Structure 1
C-alpha cells in the first residue's frame, strides 16, 4: 500500500509540475463554459435585436401604399434602402434585409393577380439574415389581411374558410426547462475531460520514457498492477479536477448571460452540479485509464499525442449520433460511453428526472472499461519489469 501511495504522490507531483498539463486543464475547464455561453448570449441578442428593431428597409414602397399603411399600423418604421444596397449588404454596412417591391405591385393586386415581393440579403451578413424571419412574418400577416378583405368585399365570410381551429398544447412539465441553445454544453464538458487529462496520461508514459525515468521507476519492488493503479490514480485525479472546475465554472458563467431567453433556459444549481459529478466522474476515470493504455505503447511524446488526439475525436462523432435518431432515443444509447453521459446531462439541463437504471448501467460500463484498460497496462508494465 505504501508503494502504491508513493507512486500516486510521485505521478501527481509530476503532473502538477507540467505547465502544459496545468494550462490545458485550466483553460479547457474554466474558460470553456463562459465562452460558449457568452457566444450564445451574443447571437441570441442579435436575433432579438432584429425582432425588436421594428424597422423595414424597402425599395419601391411608393408602389404599394396599402402595404405601407399596413406596416405603419403595425408600429414599424419604413426607411428607403440605398441605391447600392447590394454592395452595402455584402460589406455589412446594412444590417437588415431589403424589401423590394415592383412597380406593378398595386395594379396586379387590385386585379386579383398574383404578385411577388422580394426579400434581398447577403447570406454572409448574419445580422441581415436574422432580420428575415420577422420581415416574413410581417408580410405573411399582410397577405392574410388582403385575403380576408377580398373575401369580405365579395360577401364571403372568412369564418366559412376557417371551420377548423388548431391550438397548441404543450406537454412539457412546469419543472422542465428548455435547453435548445445549451445542448452543446455537454459535448464541451466531455471534450474538457479528454483534453484535460490527456497530457498527464502522455507525460506519465511516453514522457517518462523520453526522459529516461520510466525504467528506474520499474526497478523498484513493485508489481505491474501497482504501477498501473498508481499512474491511473494520478491521471484520474487530474481528470476529476477538470470535471469539478468545469462544473464550477457554470455558476459564474450565468452572470455573463445578458440575454433573457438564454438566462431563462440555462438555470444551473447545486443539485444539477451534483448530478453532473455523479455522471461524469466514472467517465473521467475510465478515460484516464484508456489514455494511459493508448500512450503506453508509444516511444515518443509526439507519437502518444497524435494517438490520443485521434481517440479524442471519438467524442464529437459520438455526440452527433442522436441527430440520426430524431424522436425517441434507442435503448442501446445507455450502453455507449460518452453517448450515455451526453444523454443524461441533457436530461439534467432540461430539468428532467434521471433514470437511475441508466446511471447504473453507465457506471458499470465505465468500471468495466477502466478494469480492462488497467489489466492491459499492468500486463505491459509487468513485461517491462520482468525484462
Structure 2
C-alpha cells in the first residue's frame, strides 16, 4: 500500500504541475499595445529624419498627423472592444482551465489505473531484495543466484570451481569483462586448460566489440599450446590475422581448421564462410562414422573370391546409400557413392546419385562444382573402360 500511496502522490504532483500555470491570471499584451508601440517608433523616426534634414518640414508634419490619426483610431477601437472582450475571454479561459483540470485529475489517473489493471499484476506480492537474498534459491532468478555466488566467492576467494561456474553466466548476462576476470581467477586457482584460456579469450573479444585484442590473442595462443586442435582458438586467431590485414595467414589458419573439422560439426559452415571471405579454398571434410572397410573387412576380403568381394563391396555401397537417404547433407558421402557406383560399373545409379546430390546442394556452389568434377571423372573412367 505504501508503494501505491507514493504513486498516487506522484500523480497528484504531476497534475498540480500542469494545473498551476493555468490557475494564474496573466495580463497578456494585446494587439492595441503592440500597435501603439509601432506608432511611437514611427513618430520617433519622423522626428529624427526632420531634424537631420532628410525629410522636409511639410512632409514631416503630414506624416506626424497621419500617425497621430492612426493612434486615435486604435484607441477608439480599443475602447469599443473593452466593454465585451474581458467577459468573453474570461469565459473561454475558464472553460479551458476546467477541461484541463478534469483531464489531468480524472482521465489520466483512471486511464493509468485501468491500463495497469489489465496489463500489470496488482495482486503480486512485493519482493524486497533483502528477502530474496535470504529466501530459498529460485532457479528462474538468475540475478539472485549470481549475487549469492558472488557473496560466496567474497568469503572463499580460492574457490576456482565457483569462478568457473560464474564466468559463462556473466557472458550470457552481457558482462564480458566480469566473465574474463572470472576465467582468469579459475586459471589461477585450478590451473591452465585449453578450454579455460579459449573461453577467457572469447570473453575479451566480446568485451572489445568483436576485436581480437593482444590479450585475447595470447589467451588463444595459450589454449592452442595445450591443445593444438582447439577449434575456437584457431578461429579467433584467424580472425585476428584478418583484422590485422594478413589475409593469407587467416586463410591458412582457417583452411587448416576446416580440414580437421568433421562434416557434421555445427560450426563448420561458419568457418567455411570466413575462409571464403578471405579467398581461401575449402579442403575436403573428414567424414566421421562413414561406413567403410575396416581392418577386419580387409583381412576377410583377402581370403574371398572375386564374386564374394563384389558382394561385400556392394553391401558397403548399399549401406552408404541408405545412410545418405537419411543424412543427405554429406557432400563427401555423395562423392564416395558416385565413385563407388563408377567402380562397380553402375552408370545409371551413379547418374541418379548425382541428380539427388545436386538437388540437395542446389544452393551450394562449391558442392555443385565438386559434383561436376566427379561427373567428369566418372565419364573419363567409363569411357576408358568401354574402349578397353
Which TM class, normalised by the smaller chain length?
A: under 0.3
TM-score (norm 1): 0.26
Normalized against structure 2, the TM-score is what? 0.26
Higher strand share: 1
